[in-house]
Structure 1
Amino acid sequence: MLNEPFLTTRPEAGSAIPLLVWRAEAPLLAVGSAPLGGGIGVRRWVLNATVPMSYDRDDPADHLAELAGGLGLAGPGVGLLTGVDVTEVVARADDGVRVWATVGLGTPVWAAAPAPATPAQRVGTVNRVGTVNIVAYVPARLGDAALVNAVATATEAKAQAIWELGLPATGTPTDAVTVLCPADGDPAPYGGPRSAWGAPLARAVHAAVLAGGAGTVVPWSEQRRAG
């Protein structure tokens, strides 16, 4: 089981910077794209840390390991960074699946964007920083292929929510997803959006990103009219 996150802070440049920390009651199997603890493996905790928009370190994994050490987080874990204030985390649940999302949509882009990015890919927001970090817990063991599929399912659901928010985008350049499940048990073979566990995962991610982004973006159609 992945416990509800607790909020803490760290001092930086005279300010108290927020961090969210999840602890697992027992080691969990995880898959994801996080700077620290990404890939597939057994993990004991998850950390989602706010950083200032001036952040310029080129060693995010080492930085996250330092933050985890300062919090007494032992063993392998997952570390995420975001410019979003993580106190704004949105939680949603569906049929046993639980999802937490910190949603920043300041730099929306299409996944298959031309290079260089066009101005249209950088508009449609109101003072909102980028990065959508998603942490999801599925209460059943997923096979390796199902874990990979679950990441795709969560990403598709995120993209659907962003489209419904009125942005011409599939995400931001720095989004990250982590899906965790029990490390033991008979592995479920599928994680797609119509599978037993992929379907509630998709619904929960969609609801969390939609709620997190609501009221923080100006649809591109309105930007065009205003321009």
Structure 2
Amino acid sequence: MVKILEKGDEVEGGFFRAMMYADFLLIETDNSRGISNAALNGGLIDPVAVINYSLYGKKDCENKPVEYLSRILEGIGRDQGRTIGLLTAVRPDRFGYARGRYSHCFISLGLDNAASPLDGLSYSGTGINGTINIVILTDLRLTDAALVDAFKTSVEAKSYSLMEKEVRSKFSDRLATGTITDVTAIVSSLGGLEYKYAGTGTDIGSDLSRLVHESIVDIIEKFYTSG
């Protein structure tokens, strides 16, 4: 079950330390490798941190997420070049955490921009309303190919979870598979045994899928289901 994080909550793993602040979640890592589609330092990277910053109640992002996150990181004294940076409009008191056998999942979930890949949208902005941000950390050592595999598996699990809960696109009546601004980050330890695969047919992929599914379903039921 997902734990809703409160200000001051800490989570420690074998190679990371996470702290929930008033407006953001900061995860600091040691000797790690990651992949993401984040606005700040997306792609493959050897990160020292991941930040998920909430813009809830703020109006000063000005549609420039990279510059905005860089200013935030400078203000808290963190490396702007090696921090994976995510933004969301989700309230910080709705950030969640769940733990599996091999992995840890941090999530913030909004559904205002839920969409289907068949909606035919043409969107190139940087809006963050309704974003589903997922950060997975695993104590296993994943090759770059396995990081891509884990990214794929996480997205598949997210899409399945939304369809299972019958979340609909805001732009059509189709079942949604995500939102138009989702970000996923996978961060792996560089210690221990090396794993080359993380698809749905592997132990780590199965664990990751269950975590993502559990996290999304729990948060939808907590905050988006009436009655």
Report the TM range for the smaller structure's normalisation.
0.7 to 0.9
Aligned residue pair count:
199
Distance 1:195 1:216 in 2: 32
Letter in 2 for 1:68: L
- 2:19 corresponds in structure 1 to 6
Letter in 2 for 1:158: K
- 1:207 corresponds in structure 2 to 214
Distance 2:122 2:184 in 1: 25
How many angstroms does 1:19 deviate by?
1.1
- 1:110 corresponds in structure 2 to 116
Distance 1:200 1:136 in 2: 11
Whether the 8 Å CA contact 2:37–2:43 is kept in 1: the answer is yes
Relative to structure 1, the CA distance from residue 206 to residue 38 in structure 2 (aligned partners, 3 Å threshold; closer, same or farther) is same
Instruction: List gaps (5 residues or longer) in structure 1.
Output: 10-17, 118-128, 220-227
| Higher deviation after alignment, 107-116 or 187-196 | 107-116
Instruction: Report Cα offsets for 1:16-61 as digits up to 9, x if no partner.
Output: xx1111111x131000111112101100111111114756523211
The structure with the largest alpha-carbon Rg is: 1
Instruction: Report Cα offsets for 1:93-123 as digits up to 9, x if no partner.
Output: 1112110110111121002322479xxxxxx
Letter in 2 for 1:39: G
- 1:176 corresponds in structure 2 to 183
Distance 2:85 2:61 in 1: 17
How many angstroms does 1:86 deviate by?
2.3
- 2:223 corresponds in structure 1 to 216
Instruction: List gaps (5 residues or longer) in structure 2.
Output: 1-13, 124-128, 168-174
1:65-214 alignment runs, 5 A limit:
65-74=70-79, 76-115=82-121, 129-167=129-167, 168-214=175-221
For residue 49 of structure 1, give the secondary structure of its aligned residue in structure 2.
strand
Distance 1:204 1:41 in 2: 23
Instruction: Report Cα offsets for 1:60-109 as digits up to 9, x if no partner.
Output: 11211111111121361111000001221111111121101101111210
Whether the 8 Å CA contact 2:40–2:65 is kept in 1: the answer is yes
TM-score by length of 1: 0.80
TM-score by length of 2: 0.80
Distance 1:151 1:131 in 2: 17
32, 45, 57: which one aligns with 1:41 = 45
Superposition CA RMSD, Å: 2.1
